[in-house]
């Protein structure tokens, strides 16, 4: 399988919305109420919100293609775009999702390795992300990639306050 990563542009916003809703729903729909899930999707993946995130300095979206088929996407943040003050020597992976038909094929690892490379190229000392406390497969994956739990923060799925583990990898 040939994998390719491409930086997203403004023209990609409709596709970002589609893949974002698809992958987020696939990952979390069975563990949340339909109302809370829909409230989150309506807010997080609305065109104006996606546009704002795409043009924010320090925020970058990437698509990953497997044999020329869109397989997933990732959003990384640095500097002013960080969602938490973890210092300017860090890179945040805010979103990293793989489409259902492409899971367990090394694509998530490929995206994560790309993010690590970006952090190293930028001279960052660590890379971090938030992962839902109930998403055991993702937490285990990040642990195998050298991430350790370093804290937690609140994440709102609609009206439902949830806890994300902050996991960090020192570079």
Residue 138's pLDDT is 93
Find out whether 165 and 147 touch, Cβ atoms under 8 Å. Answer: no
Give the SS3 label for residue 55: helix
Mean pLDDT over the full length of the chain:
95
Give the strand pairing for 160-170 and 3-7: unpaired
Examine the pLDDT at 147 and tell me if it is beyond 90. Answer: yes
Residue 88's pLDDT is 79
Question: Nearest Cα to 135, choosing from 101, 171, 108?
Answer: 108
**Model confidence pLDDT, tens digit, residues 33-56:** 999 999 999 999 999 999 999 999
Average pLDDT value for residue range 7-30: 97
Residue 91's pLDDT is 97
Residue 47's pLDDT is 98
Residue 2's pLDDT is 96
Average pLDDT value for residue range 20-25: 97
- Report all structural domains of the chain as residue ranges with CATH numbers, in order of start: 3-170 (3.40.630.30)
Average pLDDT value for residue range 104-116: 96
**Model confidence pLDDT, tens digit, residues 69-109:** 999 999 999 988 898 877 779 999 999 999 999 999 999 99
Find out whether 132 and 162 touch, Cβ atoms under 8 Å. Answer: yes
Q: Which residues are catalytic?
A: 142
pTM of the model: 0.93
Residues 6+ positions from 126 with CB-CB distance below 8 Å: 86, 89, 90, 91, 119, 168, 169, 170, 171
Local confidence band at 12 (pLDDT 50, 70, 90 cut-offs): very high
């Amino acid at each position: 399988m040939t994998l390719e990563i491409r930086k997203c542009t403004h023209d990609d916003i409709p596709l970002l919305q589609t893949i974002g809703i698809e992958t987020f729903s696939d990952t979390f729909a069975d563990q949340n109420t339909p109302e809370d899930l829909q409230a989150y999707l309506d807010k997080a993946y609305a065109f104006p919100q996606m546009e704002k995130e795409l043009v924010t300095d320090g925020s970058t979206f990437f698509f990953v293609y497997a044999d020329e088929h869109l397989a997933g996407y990732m959003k990384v943040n640095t500097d002013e775009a960080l969602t938490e003050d973890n210092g300017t020597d860090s890179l945040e992976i805010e979103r990293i999702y793989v489409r259902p038909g492409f899971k367990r094929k090394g694509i998530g690892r490929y995206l994560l390795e790309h993010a690590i490379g970006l952090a190293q190229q930028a001279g960052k000392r660590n890379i971090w992300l938030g992962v839902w406390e109930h998403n055991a497969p993702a937490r285990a994956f990040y642990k195998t990639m050298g991430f350790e739990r370093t804290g937690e923060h609140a994440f709102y799925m609609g009206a439902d306050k949830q806890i994300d583990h902050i996991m960090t990898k020192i570079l």
